[in-house]
Structures are given as C-alpha cells and as structure tokens.
Amino acid sequence: MSERDEREIRLGEARRLSQLLICVAEQAKAGFAAAVAPFGLPVPLARAFLTLGSSAPMRDLADRLACDRSYVTSLADQLEERGLVARVPGDDRRVKLLALTEAGEELRERMSTALAEQALVLRRLDDADRAALAPLLEKLVGDDEAGAPAGW
Amino acid sequence: MSERDEREIRLGEARRLSQLLICVAEQAKAGFAAAVAPFGLPVPLARAFLTLGSSAPMRDLADRLACDRSYVTSLADQLEERGLVARVPGDDRRVKLLALTEAGEELRERMSTALAEQALVLRRLDDADRAALAPLLEKLVGDDEAGAPAGW
DNA sequence: TATTGTTATACTCTATAACTATA
DNA sequence: TATAGTTATAGAGTATAACAATA
C-alpha cells in the first residue's frame, strides 16, 4: 500500500471519528437542554447560572463563558428577575459580584443533580468504559488554556 | 462507604466526564469554524453544504440538519448564489433536489480534506488512542436514530 | 386531505460601540 | 489612561404561520 493510500485511510478514519464526536456532542447538548427544561431556564441562562460558582465578578463570568461583558449584563438581568442571583458590590467599587440567592443555591443543587443523572456517560457506559474514556478526553482537550472547569 | 456516598461519587464523576465532553465538543466546533473559514462559508452554510451528499431532496436535508424546511430554503438560496448547488426538479413534481454543481463538488473535496487534516482526533491522539476511542463514541451515540452519517 | 417548497415575519442569542463610574 | 458594568442597537441564525402547487 502506498504512502498516499495510507494517508487517505488515516484521513478517512479521522473524518469518521470527528463525525462521531460531533454526533455525541449534539446528543449531549440535547440532553442538557432536556434536563434543564423542566426548571424553566432557557439553555444559555442555565449555562451561565451553572457556570457561575456561588459568586463571581461579572467580568469573570464573561471570561468563563467566552462572551462579551454586555451579554453578561443581560444574563444577570434575567437571573436577577427570577430571583436566582443578586448583584453585590465588590471590593473594587467598579466591580459587581453575581451571587446566588438562597433560591439560586437550592435550584443549582437540583439542576446539577438532574444533569448528572441523565448524563450520556452514565446511561451508555459502564465503569470500565468511563475509566477508559476519561484520559482520552483529557488528551483531546489538551492543556491549551481555559479548561474552564465550570461550576457544576 | 455508604450506598449514598457511592452514588454521590458516581454522579460527581459523571459530571466531570460530561464537562470534559462538552469541552472537547467546543474545541471541535471551534476547529470546524477555523478550518472552514478560509473557504468563505459561514459555519451553518458549511454544515449544510457538507451534510448534503452530492444530491438530496430539500426535505431530507431539513431532516438531517434537524431544522425547519423554511430554513433549508434560505440555506439553498445562499448556496445557489455562490454557485455551489443547483435546485433540480425531482420525480415527484413537488420535490426539489439540491445537487452539487461542479464547483460545489470541487469545493467539497477540498473542504473535506482540510477538515480531516486539522481534526482534533488526529492532532492529539495516536493510533492506539483512536482505536480505543471509536467504540466508546459508538456506545455513546447509541443506535437511537439519526446517526446522520453526514456526507463529509 | 397531506406534503413540498416558499414567503414574510418575528424571535433568540450575541456582539459592537458609545457611555458612566471608578481606578 | 485603563477597566467594570450598562445601554442602545444591530446582526446572525433559526422558527412560525400562511400560502401555492402537487399528490
């Protein structure tokens, strides 16, 4: 088999694996949406809510979500309307922290559990599979940057 | 260790794995966007373009993309403007097929290769890793439905 | 009557630019 | 001068509803 053929085959397999990965990702996304829907939060709001630890400067949230500060303002407005977070003044008086309210903490606990329970990795894989998967995913994410351990 | 603790640990691990998976998915998405950008197609257009085999009824494309028929009309308009696909009448006279033009075929070939070459699974994993990953991803996608092997 | 594609319209998500208040 | 958050506005991506042609 020629070098060229080998390269072709390798590329073809990469394609197939990539597609599988995307497929899994889409199912995971759908799973997230489904798990979160009963709690009445639209997906982006839920993501922000869960990414926010129990308290963080708005700026930090923008970094973790990789979005603009102005969008965080809008997310914060919506979360505040729902009584899930409160803006509390920071040490530096330019800064505002977003802090979970009591209701927020409680909801986070419930959502977090619901999410884990329906996780694809739990429903489709056994212990051995999960043990094998973890290091592969770690290699895939690399040690680039972010890794944004998200709070949930 | 109590049953309850074991359950907690298991859920915690599921959470961690799920987050890793999402992380990988986001990087894969970013990789797709980056690989596709030089060809001048916005991401959703590229996705549609690649999902379309070399020819398919618009309705089928809507199914594969899991989107509304009206959106396919808009995607088809844009791809047609760029000379990448043509609407050809189907057998059933209600149906229109989207078929790649010659330019479309040529572009698809190049994009498809570019995509495979930059794939995360190729850049970060060795042969053994990829061999281990494939069956795990297959389990994860399950045999539900779609699986939509996407044409690229 | 049910289905295909189209049109017009509207909604969601998110960014950009300009602004205010601190630092 | 630079940074945090806000406001107003705009754009991309996508859906809904009503419609014409065909089955």
* pLDDT beneath 70, residues of chain A: 144-152
Residue B132 lies in a domain: yes
Choice between B144 and A15, residue whose per-residue pLDDT is larger: A15
Interface with chain B: mutation pick from A23, A50, A122, A124, highest number of B CBs within 10 Å: A23
Question: Residue A108: which H helix or E strand, with range?
Answer: helix A102-117
State the count of interchain CB pairs (< 8 A) between A and B: 153
Edge-to-edge strand list for the sheet holding A85-89: A55-57, A96-100, A85-89
Please give the tally of structural domains in chain A. 1
> Domain limits at A127?
3-145
Residue B22 has pLDDT above 50, yes or no: yes
Q: Would you tell me the crossing angle of helices A3-36 and B127-141 to the nearest 10 degrees?
A: 40
- Per-chain mean pLDDT for chain B: 92
Would you state the pLDDT for residue A120? 93
Question: Is B151 contained in some domain?
Answer: no
Asked, for residue B64, whether it belongs to a domain, the answer is yes
**d(C-alpha A48, C-alpha A80), whole Å:** 12
Looking at the domain assignment, is residue B152 inside a domain?
Answer: no
Residue B150 domain flag: no
> Is residue B38 a part of any domain in this protein?
yes
Amino acid at A3: E
What is residue A144's predicted lDDT score, i.e. its pLDDT?
56
Q: What is the pLDDT of residue A145?
A: 47
* A83 backbone φψ class: left, alpha, beta (φ>0; ψ -120 to 50): left
Name residues 20-79 of chain B within 8 A of A (Cβ). Answer: 20-25, 27-29, 32
pLDDT score recorded for residue A117? 93
Q: In what order do the strands lie in the sheet with B85-89?
A: B55-57, B96-100, B85-89
- Which CATH number does the domain housing residue B93 bear? 1.10.10.10
- Looking at chain B, list the stretches that DSSP marks H as alpha helix, in order from N- to C-terminal side: 3-36, 43-51, 58-65, 69-81, 102-117, 120-124, 127-141
* H or E, element range at B88: strand B85-89
Q: Please give the Cα distance from B16 to A138 (Å, whole number).
A: 11
> Which position has the higher pLDDT, A59 or B143?
A59
pLDDT of residue B111: 96
Select the more confidently predicted residue: B146 or B2. Answer: B2
Does residue A11 contact residue B117 with C-beta atoms inside 8 Å?
yes
Percentages helix, strand, coil for chain A, rounded to the nearest 5? 70, 10, 25
Segment B110-119 mean pLDDT: 95
Mean pLDDT of B67-75: 98
Residue B145 is predicted with a pLDDT of 47
Q: Which two tokens stand for residue A3?
A: 């070098």
Which residues in chain B have Cβ-Cβ distances shorter than 8 Å to A23?
Answer: 137, 141, 146-148
- How many residues would you count in chain A? 152
| B130 contacts A13? CB cut-off 8 A | yes
SS3 B138: helix
> Which A-chain residues 94-133 have CB contacts (< 8 A) with chain B?
112-113, 115-117, 119-122, 124-125, 129-130, 132-133
